[in-house]
Amino acid sequence: MGIVKRAIAKDASVVSMAIDATDIVARIEEIHGTSAVATAALGRLAVATSLMGYTLKNDGDSVTCRIDADGALGQLVAVSDSSGNVKAYVQNPIVEISLNENGKLDVGGAVGEGTLTVIKDMGLKEPYVGVCPLVSGEVAEDFAAYYANSEQTPTVCSLGVLVSPDLKVKAAGGFLIHVLPFASEECIDVIERNIADIPPVTEMLNGGMTPAEIALKLLDGLEPNELDEGEVAYKCTCSRERTEQILAGVGRKELGEMISEGKDVEICCHFCGKKYVFTIENIRDVINEN
């Protein structure tokens, strides 16, 4: 179970969010069997999407964040509900590339060049869709650019996943700082100093700091107050009923061809790996009901 925490400056001009998503990213590695760089990339995307989802207002709202790029990882997708519960998928879970010039996992190299797409389903007639080019493929910078360009909200974003040599996740999390339009220059100067001095998020989490402590530290000097706190988890919403709906969408002709082959059909969920088996009789029922 992860924890997300929000804090606000005394004058309400800046809001910070921090999350400990170590358990979430560990679950991602367990489900998808990801290599170290894939764990780091998909973990960062899941962390950012969880933070974004937590800001949604209504229970039925959701956000999907998708990276389409030319790197070895292929497509990366994360989906969060309004509570910050998230699920994630990477097209190529096992990618091995050299470390970057700083001796770190080369997430940007594994992701490559492409776009970040954010789809917010907030119960309206059409979902909100924002698309922006990737800045670096390191994910945090790409989300900061999305907020600045698509939502006109100056944002500081930091994401981190610390993977041990045995591929286990030692720490994972991130933070966001949203600066509102009426923030003063003095306030912005304080934020800039705080960011310059703050350690990497995985270092803080690995050292025992809580999301609440991190959120408040980000606003140090602005007399911050704690806001809400929530528990978040890796949560897939797949079910046999939903999978049956997907099967029905294939079309009567294609379903008829499946029956003529005389074999059961197995559908595997990309997000959690759960398998659903439909017999010939099940497929006939799908045709009759649709």
Instruction: Kindly provide the b/e burial profile for residues 252-290, where b requires at least 16 CB atoms within 10 angstroms of the residue's own CB.
Output: eeebeebeeeeeebeeebebbeeebebeeeebeebeeee
Indicate if the pLDDT at residue 264 is higher than 90: no
C-alpha torsion 46→48→54→60, nearest 10: -50
How large a percentage of the chain has pLDDT more than 90?
Answer: 79
**Interval 78-96 mean pLDDT:** 97
The answer to whether 12 and 25 have CB atoms below 8 angstroms apart is: no
Q: What are the C-alpha distances in Å from 216 to residues 105, 155, 190?
A: 29, 16, 13
Q: Please tell me the distance from the alpha carbon of residue 69 to that of residue 89, in angstroms, as a whole number.
A: 14
Q: Please tell me the distance from the alpha carbon of residue 131 to that of residue 224, in angstroms, as a whole number.
A: 33
- State residue 179 phi and psi, 5-degree precision: -100, 120
Query: What six digits make up the tokens of 75?
Result: 């497509």
Q: Decide which of 102 and 180 is more confident.
A: 180
pTM of the model: 0.94
Contacts made by residues 179-188, CB under 8 angstroms, sequence distance 24+: 179/13, 179/14, 179/153, 179/154, 179/155, 180/12, 180/13, 180/14, 180/15, 180/153, 182/13, 183/13, 183/14, 184/13, 187/9, 187/11, 187/13, 187/14, 187/222
Sorted by where each begins, the domain ranges of the chain are 2-232, 240-289
Q: What are the C-alpha distances in Å from 275 to residues 29, 65, 221, 257?
A: 18, 24, 52, 21
Q: Please tell me the distance from the alpha carbon of residue 88 to that of residue 286, in angstroms, as a whole number.
A: 28
**Interval 52-59 mean pLDDT:** 93
Q: Among the residues of the chain, which ranges form H helices? A: 22-32, 36-54, 107-111, 140-150, 185-197, 201-206, 211-218, 240-248, 252-261, 280-289
How large a percentage of the chain has pLDDT more than 70?
Answer: 100
Q: Please tell me the distance from the alpha carbon of residue 124 to that of residue 112, in angstroms, as a whole number.
A: 33
Q: What is the pLDDT of residue 110?
A: 97
Task: Residue 167: name the closest of 71, 32, 10 by CA.
Answer: 32
pLDDT tens digits, one per residue of 211-247: 999 999 999 999 999 999 999 999 999 999 999 888 8
Q: Decide which of 103 and 220 is more confident.
A: 220
Task: Residue 5: name the closest of 235, 234, 226, 233 by CA.
Answer: 226
Q: Please tell me the distance from the alpha carbon of residue 184 to that of residue 14, in angstroms, as a whole number.
A: 10
Tell me, what DSSP letter sits at residue 234? Answer: B
State the CATH architecture for 2-232.
3-Layer(bab) Sandwich (3.55)
Residue type at position 111: V
The answer to whether 153 and 87 have CB atoms below 8 angstroms apart is: no
pLDDT tens digits, one per residue of 124-153: 888 999 999 999 999 999 999 999 999 999
Length of the chain: 290
Indicate if the pLDDT at residue 290 is higher than 80: no
pLDDT tens digits, one per residue of 172-207: 999 999 999 889 999 999 999 999 999 999 999 999
State in words which class domain 240-289 has: alpha beta
**Interval 155-164 mean pLDDT:** 95
Indicate if the pLDDT at residue 278 is higher than 80: yes
